[in-house]
Amino acid sequence: MIDALWTGLLLVFEWPSIGYLVLGAVLGIWIGAVPGLGGIIGLVLLLPFTFGMEPVPALALLLGLWTVTTTSDTIASVMLGIPGTVASQATILDGYPLAQQGQAARALGAAFTVSAFGGVFGALVLAVSLPIIAPLILSFGSPELFMLGMLGLTMVGALSGSSVLKGLAAAMLGLMLGFIGMAETIAEPRYTFGAIYLLDELPIIPVVLGLFAIPELLELAVRNVSISRIPKDQVEGGGIMDGVRDAFRYWWLALRCSIIGTYIGMLPGLGASIVDWVAYGHAVQSTKDNPRFGQGDIRGVIAPEAANNAIKGGALVPTVAFGIPGSLGTAILLGALVIQGLRPGPDMLTDNLHITFSMVWMIVIANIVVAVLLMFLAKQVAKIAFVPGHLIVPGVITFIFMGSWLGGASMGDWITCLTMGIVGFIMKRGGWPRPPLILALILGNILENTFQISMRAHDGWSWLSRPIVLIIFVLIVLTLIFAVSGMLKKKQRQAKQEAGADTSGEGSEKNPLISLPFAALLAVMFIWAWFESQPWALEVKQFPEMVAIPASILVLIALFYDARDILADRRLASGWGDVFQQSAEQAVLRRSLIFFAYLIAMILVTYVIGQKLSLALFIGIYLWRWGGYSARLSLAYAIGGWVFMVAFYDQIMNLLFHRSWLHQWAYPMLPEWLPSYLF
């Protein structure tokens, strides 16, 4: 084994393997940082280039990219409050508040340090665990995977906001949205309203980008602020080295979360979806000294970032040892192994053990190289937090809508993105945490499949008595108890300090006049969903019924509390008009509606002149009319956005753009020497 380990290292440092590894890592920095791209799209783009290459250089290119996307995705999570990838959702809870406090560099420094540690740790565990890990993986069947998914949902629902009630209800909303499309067991459509677009499920990327990105960009636009709410000259500390010192200060937490990430990563189908939440929940529940989770606690960045990088090594264990991909990313890597003539399984642990160890070294080297590169870039990236918000909004809107377009190349994706942006705005203003919705949407099909398999394989509910299932059930109960206890103590501290509610964290805003209509709409939706499911076959309706009934109860309770809070506000105000006015001013409702009108107009104009011109037009008009910048600057920014869309999304990514009215009628009249792809 030592010979294979050494041989694998030498293979990585041979030319051109090391060159391809660095190239993949550099590309991974860009792809992970851009909202809507991510490691899976990067792997899909690079896979054709590996045809005809030798195995080690091909794997170096792919692993270099795939490994580092969970490091660079921290940039979007911290700077914009947008999950760069699925595995960085928990990072936004404390990373973005730190950026708002002018400490983005500190958050990035800590994240990059523990990301390198977690990635290296996961790779080393991969090397040690390959021959001995089979019993652990095989002990997790469908019942255990179902309960582990429920644990992840419980943690995010209970820990990501200031109300356990609203967090769990938001998770159930995500599950209901996940039921849209064809049922998994029987080919029967559910909740599609007759729309062909919805037959193939609700796309994840437009939902994530709309739910998180648009409300945060709206905040910058309507309040005319930068990401940091504190001027640069008033920020004390918060530098990159402060973050590095934080990482070493909390080394024991980083180590524990790396272990969590590695071993959860070995579980097929669930790892990347829940690992950051399990690590974040562990950090919250194991911290006693003055925790400020959700308001800018650096430990809330360290825990998920250590775990989501350690998962890479863990996820390769079932892929290499058993040929069982744990995620879509490892499925693509599995395909790359087969293309290179390598058969996952015993051969990778015997005859091709040196290739397996070369993959271990690739993960180690890529993590170290990228951590060093990003440390040098972090100071410059952190300066974005002090840039005027009006200069950030139009550029990021371009990335958001083009990122939404990547999945299905359908105008329905843009409409979904905007719709979820409106939902995200209402949830943020009304104190409903958004992360539970996304995690539940991702896990919905997995949970339903594992539940149905468990019920069939064990002839009913007998699987609930399995030892690991019981252990996870106890963890779920403890999570709820600790979450409720922690929130009660927090409210008591606030009452003693007479400081009022802190609105800096996710789900912490309080505006019952916005929350109540949303809760009422959810109650109607859940009740309707139950009635709609009644004619369906048992296998099709069973899981939606199990969600709709408790969800209706939770939302009705939330509705009661919102009504009580509104009546309390009315007693303190001079009249109902005063209550409505205060609520509208608190939510900056008028300017928010105007901002959404801009986005609606952009989508409508797209049908006429196409995406490249409509996005460029939005950039120019937004800066000129809303931002108050000069016509020259607005025009230059718009032209720059148009050039980027043509160069990157059209010529490099070769996307299929919407065929607009202008494309159908005016382009045939263009001179032959003028390429139509410019428009």
3-state secondary structure 135-203: HHHHCCCHHHHHHHHHHHHHHHHHHCCCCHHHHHHHHHHHHHHHCCEECCCCCCEECCCCCHHHHHCCC
The dihedral of CA 398, 387, 84, 175: what is its sign? negative
- Can you list the alpha helix ranges (DSSP code H) found in 323-352? 328-339, 346-349
Q: What percent of the chain has pLDDT over 70?
A: 84
Q: Give the whole-number percent of the chain exceeding pLDDT 90.
A: 12
Predicted local distance difference test score (pLDDT) of residue 96: 83
**What would you measure as the largest C-alpha separation in the chain, in angstroms?**
81
pLDDT confidence tier of residue 261, bands split at 50, 70 and 90: confident
Task: Tell me the average pLDDT across 412-424.
Answer: 92
Segment of 181-185, 494-498, 597-601, 674-678 carrying the highest mean pLDDT: 597-601
Angle at 378 between CA 375 and CA 383, to 5 degrees: 160
Q: Which residues contact 524 (CB under 8 A, 6 or more apart)?
A: none
pLDDT above 70: residue 346: no
Residue bearing tokens 């391809």: 20
> Mean pLDDT over all residues of the chain?
80
When pLDDT is averaged across residues 124-151 and rounded to a whole number, the result is: 70
Residues 384, 78: Cα–Cα separation, whole Å: 11
Query: Cβ neighbours of residue 226 under 8 Å, at least 6 residues apart?
Result: 220, 385, 386, 387, 388, 389, 392
Q: 271: pLDDT confidence band, cut at 50, 70 and 90?
A: low
Contact 341, 55 (CB under 8 A): yes
Kindly state the average pLDDT of the residues 47-73. Answer: 80
pLDDT at site 639: 93
Written as six digits, the tokens of 427 are 């949830």
Span 76-99, mean pLDDT? 78
Residue 424, pLDDT above cutoff 70? yes
The answer to whether residue 168 scores a pLDDT higher than 90 is: no
Q: What is the pLDDT of residues 376-412, one digit of tens each?
A: 887 777 788 788 888 888 988 888 898 888 767 788 8
Average pLDDT of 201-214?
84
Distance from C-alpha of 382 to C-alpha of 349, rounded to nearest angstrom: 44
Q: Is the pLDDT of residue 565 over 80?
A: yes
Of the candidates 131, 159, 134, the residue with the CA atom closest to the CA atom of residue 299: 159
pLDDT at position 497, please?
47
pLDDT at 498: 44
Tokens matching residue 27? 């590309």
**Nearest Cα to Cα of residue 472 among 223, 155, 49, 17:** 155
Name the more confident of 36 and 615: 615
Number of other CB atoms surrounding residue 560 within 10 Å: 12
Assign 530 a pLDDT band (cuts: 50, 70, 90): very high
Q: Evaluate if residue 617 carries a pLDDT over 90.
A: yes
Residue 433: which region, alpha, beta or left (left: phi > 0; alpha: psi -120 to 50)? beta
pLDDT at position 267: 66
Cβ neighbours for 462, distance < 8 A, ≥ 6 positions apart = none
DSSP character at residue 460:
T
Q: What pLDDT shows up at residue 37?
A: 65
Q: Supply the pLDDT for residue 596.
A: 94
In angstroms, the CA 183 to CA 412 distance is 21
The answer to whether residue 602 scores a pLDDT higher than 90 is: yes
Flag whether pLDDT at 494 surpasses 60. Answer: no
DSSP per-residue codes, 245-285: HHHHHTHHHHHHHHHHHHHHHTSTTTHHHHHHHHHHHHHHH
Q: How far is CA 372 from the centre of its chain?
A: 24
pLDDT at 603 (0 to 100)? 93
Cα separation values, 555 from 151, 433, 550, Å: 21, 14, 9
Kindly state the DSSP code that residue 82 receives in the 8-state scheme: -
Q: Which residue has the tokens 């669930």?
A: 270
* Alpha carbon distances (Å) from 109 to 85, 104, 243, 419, 545: 19, 9, 5, 35, 46
Instruction: Compute the distance between CA of residue 586 and CA of residue 589 in angstroms, rounded to an integer.
Output: 8
Residue type, 480: L
Mean pLDDT of all residues in 648-675? 77
Residue 73 Rama label (left phi>0; alpha psi -120 to 50; beta) = alpha
SS3 of residue 501 by DSSP: coil
Sequence-distant (6+) residues with CB within 8 A of 317 are: 126, 129, 130, 133, 137, 265, 266
Reading phi first (left if > 0) and then psi (alpha if -120 to 50, else beta), residue 496 is in: alpha
